[in-house]
């Protein structure tokens, strides 16, 4: 079924399937980055800080209660690192690395 859909998309869009897949993957990854950024923005507003390291520092200094702020630090750091990896993949797609789809 998927093969038929891909062939139809190739025809309708006038694009080869490799390009369709690359553009689709890039869009999906960018949507995930945006999703992560919205969560990061909410953490920024919630704690009034610009980054997870600043929040961690405030916790260590006793300026912010440790709970649930530590959980937010962990989440924020994970989202940040996830975004870095996703951006790297997007860059690979944009640079055309590993052009062939297996």
Enter the pTM of the model: 0.85
Give me 61's structure tokens: 């200094």
pLDDT digits (tens, 9 = 90+) for 4-14: 999 999 999 99
Q: How far, in Å, CA of 33 to CA of 40, rounded?
A: 10
Amino acid 99: pLDDT: 58
Residues counted in the chain: 102
Q: Where are the domains of the chain?
A: 24-95
Q: For residue 48, how far is the Cα from the chain centroid? A: 22
Amino acid 24: pLDDT: 96
Amino acid 97: pLDDT: 59
Q: Which residue did the predictor score with more confidence, 97 or 39? A: 39
> What is the mean pLDDT of the segment spanning 59-83?
96
> What is the mean pLDDT of the segment spanning 38-62?
97
Q: Which residue did the predictor score with more confidence, 98 or 33? A: 33
Q: Contact at 8 Å (CB) between 55 and 47? A: yes
Q: Which of 54-61's residues contact partners 24+ apart within 8 Å by CB, and which partners? A: none
Q: Is the pLDDT of residue 98 over 60?
A: no
DSSP letter, residue 64: S
Can you tell me which residue has the tokens 């890039």? 26
Q: Which residue did the predictor score with more confidence, 2 or 83? A: 83
């Amino acid at each position: 079924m998927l093969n038929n859909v891909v062939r139809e998309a190739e025809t309708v869009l006038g694009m080869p399937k490799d390009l369709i897949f690359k553009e689709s993957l890039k869009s999906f990854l960018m949507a995930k980055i945006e999703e992560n950024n919205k969560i990061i923005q909410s953490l920024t507003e919630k704690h009034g800080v610009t980054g997870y390291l600043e929040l961690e520092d405030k916790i260590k200094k006793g300026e912010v209660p440790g709970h649930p702020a530590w959980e937010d630090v962990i989440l924020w750091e994970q989202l940040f690192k996830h975004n870095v990896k996703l951006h790297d993949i997007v860059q690979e797609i944009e640079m055309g690395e590993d052009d062939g789809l297996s």
